[in-house]
Amino acid sequence: MQDAARHWNAVYETKAADQVSWFQAAPVTSLRLLERWAPPGSSVIDVGAGASTLVDELVGAGWKDVTVLDVSEAALTKVRKRLGERLGAVTFAAGDVRTWQSERTYGAWHDRAVFHFLVEPSDRDHYVATASKAIAPGGVAVLATFAADGPVECSGLPTLRYDAESLARIFGSAFSLEHAEREEHTTPFGTIQPFTWVVLRRV
């Protein structure tokens, strides 16, 4: 936990938001999938939210109950400062998803580019158990990981690569695979990173 916090704090303290490989000017796919697949009026948690502007977009679009979780306090501080007066609708949680437990349920769980860092099976098991408890029946997980032909590391850390079927298999029978798509993300440095997106419904 300490190591992860130290690593990611150093990233957010030393790099501008638009100078990290995962930067996107607008979280277009996240928003489209959440608006299409989450039950109306859903609460949502963005797991490993970083400095993403997804929270701004969700609040702007009228989502009333938005939580952001990240292991990096530095990332959460950036988001707090950016949101300013719009903070009211947002709950911040600092925690490592490999050990974190949710105290409530959500209609939607969003994770872009976090699950693929979990290279230890026990960490993936904890993540799936936590998501299974935290997502209300009928709610959805909207997940994006590196695709099967995606990068094998990010930010100096090893990553795993998935297609939709392998992701759905890991999440198991508590979830049904509703939707999958591929995205080719262009980094600020002009390289292409293929991602697998899935929407899994909690049964």
Q: Find tokens 């999938």 and name the residue.
A: 33
CA dist 133 and 155 (Å) reads 30
Give the x-and-dash track for 151-180 against ligand SAM (CB under 6 A).
---x--------------------------
Cα–Cα distance list, 65 to 21, 44, 182 (Å)? 29, 6, 28
Q: Which is nearer to ligand SAM, 98 or 201 (CB)?
A: 98
Q: Which is nearer to ligand SAM, 14 or 173 (CB)?
A: 14
114 binds ligand SAM (CB under 6 A): yes
Q: Which is nearer to ligand SAM, 71 or 135 (CB)?
A: 71
66 binds ligand SAM (CB under 6 A): no
48 binds ligand SAM (CB under 6 A): yes
Amino acid at 98: R
Mode of pairing for the β-strands spanning 66-70 and 90-94: parallel
183: burial class by Cβ within 10 Å (0-12, 13-18, 19+)? middle
- Sole binder of ligand SAM in the list 106, 109, 117, 162 (CB under 6 A): 117
Q: Find tokens 């990981």 and name the residue.
A: 145
Mode of pairing for the β-strands spanning 157-158 and 153-154: antiparallel
Residues 139/109, Cβ–Cβ less than 8 Å: yes
Shortest approach of ligand SAM to residue 41 CB, angstroms?
A: 23
Shortest approach of ligand SAM to residue 50 CB, angstroms?
A: 3
Q: What is the contact surface with ligand SAM in residues (CB under 6 A)?
A: 4, 8, 22, 48-50, 52, 70-72, 75, 96-98, 112-114, 117, 154
